[in-house]
Structure formats: C-alpha cells, structure tokens
C-alpha cells in the first residue's frame, strides 16, 4: 500500500470529509501542520514531558482539519482542484491515470521525503535553522505536489462523470 493511500485510510477520508477538505480554508490551513508540530515537539525544551500534550493536540489538528470547514459552494480554484486530483491519484489502481503524472508525483514525493531527516534532526537537536530548512523543504515540495494534483484533475475531469461533478463555479 502506498503512503498516501495509507494516510487517507487512517484519516477515515469519506466522500463527505473529502468534500469538506476541498474547501480552500481546509487546504491552506493544512500547511500549518508541520510548523505547528515543529513548535509542539520543540516545546519539550520548555515544558519537559508535558510536550506530549501539544504534540497530541497537533495530531488532533491533522485529523480535524479536513472536517472543520463546510463544503465550498465553488470549487473552481487551485486548492479545491488539488484535493480532487489527490482523490484521483489515490484511486489510480482502479482507474488509470496518465503515466507522466505518476512519475512526476513519485518524484515530488521522494523530494519531499528528503526534507524529513532535516526536520527530524532539527527537532531532535533543537537546531532552529535546520528545522526551518526541513519545514521549508517539505512544504515547498508538498505545494508543488498539490499543484501537480491540480494538473492531474484538469487532465482527468472529463473522463469520469463523478470527477466532472466535483467542479462547481
């Protein structure tokens, strides 16, 4: 099972949750997850073992975020189409998508994961600059991945009536 599919499954991403997550507020506030987790893990230096409380709260934020906002009335925007593309990408075993998207997405995922050791070391060593670099590295490639998901959605939206129905102006 690929990592994205596992993450979606563990998040219990039903159709209703995906509809809510297509709200641009959900997508853009999702970019706060890594910085919030960074601060929460860093707080071990300030509050000792109690840092576990903010860390747990940050994981709750990860789960709550896609559920917090109502489904958008319009989905003709970058954020919404990015979530649609992600749904299509996660369903690629059941419905073929163009090979060039698969290759590009895998490359972007690998590039994003390269930032993980920087992030982890920065948290472990309490090295602000390394942690900042890890955050920026991961977030840049995540944003690029979302942009690729928009491209995938635009390429695929007319191949399936369900995909086409997600687009609302």
**Residue range 89-145, pLDDT digits in tens:** 998 998 899 999 999 999 999 999 999 999 999 999 999 999 999 999 999 999 999
- Listed range (48-52, 56-60, 138-142) with the worst mean pLDDT: 48-52
Residue 33 has pLDDT above 60, yes or no: yes
Tokens for 63? 């789960």
Q: What is the pTM of this model?
A: 0.85
d(CA 161, CA 152): 15
Closest-CA residue to 147 (of 102, 105, 98, 94): 105
Contact 117, 111 (CB under 8 A): no
Domain boundaries, the chain: 3-166
For residue 83, is pLDDT > 90? Answer: yes
Write the burial class of residue 39 (CB in 10 Å: 0-12 exposed, 13-18 middle, 19+ buried).
middle
User: Using an 8 Å Cβ cutoff, are 77 and 98 in contact?
Assistant: no
């Amino acid at each position: 099972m690929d990592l994205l599919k596992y993450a979606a499954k563990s998040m219990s991403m039903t159709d209703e949750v995906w509809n809510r997550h297509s709200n641009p507020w959900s997508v853009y506030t999702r970019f706060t997850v890594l910085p919030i987790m960074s601060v929460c893990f860093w707080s071990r230096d300030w509050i000792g073992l109690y840092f576990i409380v903010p860390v747990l709260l940050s994981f709750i934020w990860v789960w709550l975020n896609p559920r917090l906002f109502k489904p958008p009335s319009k989905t003709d925007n970058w954020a919404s189409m990015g979530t649609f593309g992600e749904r299509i990408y996660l369903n690629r075993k059941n419905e073929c998508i163009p090979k060039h998207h698969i290759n590009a997405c895998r490359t972007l995922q690998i590039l994003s994961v390269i930032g993980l050791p920087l992030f982890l070391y920065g948290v472990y060593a309490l090295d602000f600059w390394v942690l900042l670099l890890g955050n920026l590295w991961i977030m840049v490639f995540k944003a690029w991945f979302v942009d690729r998901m928009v491209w995938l959605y635009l390429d695929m939206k007319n191949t399936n009536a369900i995909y086409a129905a997600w687009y609302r102006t």
